[in-house]
């Protein structure tokens, strides 16, 4: 028993040691998230400008289209970042 009354067992202990490959994978994941977030907002901005120049009115459909295409672009950027990191 520990001082707080809980039994000490194997599942209550944490191993905070990481191998270099674990840290490298975490850095890859962070890089992928950062790049895909930037790609999402940049592509949404340019898609919005492009659709405004075409004269398409603001609305739910246009917003959903911008979101869908920007999401697709951000997924592609994340996949490319993961592929290039490996």
Confidence of residue 4 (pLDDT cuts 50, 70, 90): low
Q: What is the pLDDT of residues 41-77, one digit of tens each?
A: 999 999 999 999 999 999 999 999 999 999 999 999 9
- Residue 68 in 3-state DSSP? helix
Per the structure block, which two tokens stand in for 1? Answer: 């028993």
Per-residue pLDDT at 26: 77
pLDDT digits (tens, 9 = 90+) for 13-36: 555 666 666 666 778 888 899 999
Please provide the DSSP assignment of 4-66 as one string: TSPPP-GGG-------HHHHHHHHHHHHHHHHHHHHHHHHHHHHHHHHHHHTPPPSHHHHHHH
Percent of the chain at pLDDT exceeding 90: 57
């Amino acid at each position: 028993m520990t001082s707080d009354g809980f039994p000490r067992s194997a599942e209550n202990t944490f191993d905070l040691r990481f191998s270099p490959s674990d840290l490298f994978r975490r850095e890859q994941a962070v890089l992928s998230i950062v790049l895909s977030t930037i790609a999402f907002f940049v592509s949404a901005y340019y898609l919005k400008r492009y659709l405004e120049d075409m004269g398409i009115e603001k609305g739910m459909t246009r917003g959903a289209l911008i979101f869908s295409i920007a999401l697709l672009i951000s997924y592609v950027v994340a996949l490319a970042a993961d592929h290039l990191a490996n």
